[in-house]
Amino acid sequence: MAVLVTGGAGYIGSHMVLALLDAGHEDIVVLDDLSTGFDWAVPERVKLVIGDVADQALVAETIRVHRIDALAHFAAKIVVPESVSDPLGYYLANTVKTRSLVEAAVRAGVKHVIFSSTAAVYGEPEVVPVPENLPLKPINPYGRSKLMSEWMIADAAVAHGFSYVILRYFNVAGADPEGRSGQSTPNATHLIKVATQAALGQRERLDVYGTDYPTPDGSCLRDYIQVSDLAEAHRVALDHLRAGGESLTLNCGYGRGYSVLEVIEVVKRVSGREFEVRFCPRRAGDPAQIVAEASLIRDRLGWKPCHDDLDAIVAQALSWEDRLRKRNQV
């Protein structure tokens, strides 16, 4: 049986494909419309189907032809401020299309679903670190669109008898340590990517949105998880489900927070370069601090992160930007 990775030509999805290959899984199919992903990010021995996850006929045919038993769904829009200005676009991409995909998967007999969710479902958490059982109060359309999809998947699983793992990401960063993939979207908003681009002279400056938050230095506090560790969490989730494991909803983070200003200092130190930092007003939809209570994923899935080192994460991001620059010059 095979696994279908939607968004597998993108940042996190491509690392999931690498994690599967590294673990000996060969039956992998990627479905991606290449709107933000890249065909070169998919290894040659992996089948790439170009299309929309909401194309139910295409999804059904792909599942049938490749004997898909598991779905890992990464395809989504992910920029919080953009979700505030374009909520309907986010509900379409993250909620409506997920509903269509899950319906097609159910009809085709898919047994297991792994869903890429987000810590944004917690909103402004009253408890930090954030446990999975905290009340869900998203404060932006991105978080709401993902929470709606969580509800749909859980309800559909009860009705139709499939199992699932929902993984709530905190802030994803870094790149494959072997340099095979990384964050490649030209206008990405991830802090570490933007900061490394500023350090390398690819951006004029770095904007910091808000320095008056109730945090130690006034800037937002986040839990940064290395992308290969996150991909490995998905891989062990797949093994868990295929072994008959129960459905789960789990945080993916390290349980340690760094402020925006702390990250900037690490980027400057690791790169050995200074760059301009401009302080701007807060952006709509940004919580002050959000850090994972991450013990449950270790207990239930036996997940053991290997890359919990901010300096190393920044070094990976810098190295990937150099590789990407050379690729784009070809």
Q: Which residues are catalytic?
A: 142
Q: Which of 37, 23, 26, 24 has the alpha carbon at shortest distance from 2?
A: 26
Question: In 10 A of CB 144, how many CB atoms?
Answer: 22
Residue type, 204: E
Question: In 10 A of CB 328, how many CB atoms?
Answer: 9
Tokens of 61: 């045919």
Q: Quick one: CA torsion of 252, 257, 261, 265, rounded to 10 degrees?
A: -90
Q: At what angle do helices 260-271 and 191-199 cross, to 10 degrees?
A: 40
Question: In 10 A of CB 93, how many CB atoms?
Answer: 20
Burial of 88 (0-12, 13-18, 19+ CB in 10 A): exposed
Pairing of strands 258-259, 221-222: antiparallel
The C-alpha angle 81, 10, 7, rounded to 5 degrees, equals: 95
H/E stretch holding 66 reads helix 56-66
The C-alpha angle 86, 91, 96, rounded to 5 degrees, equals: 145
Q: Which of 80, 315, 307, 36 has the alpha carbon at shortest distance from 196?
A: 315
Going by the DSSP 8-state scheme, the letter that residue 21 receives in this structure is: H
H/E stretch holding 65 reads helix 56-66
User: Coil, strand, or helix at residue 98?
Assistant: helix
Pairwise CA distance, residues 113 & 111, whole Å: 7
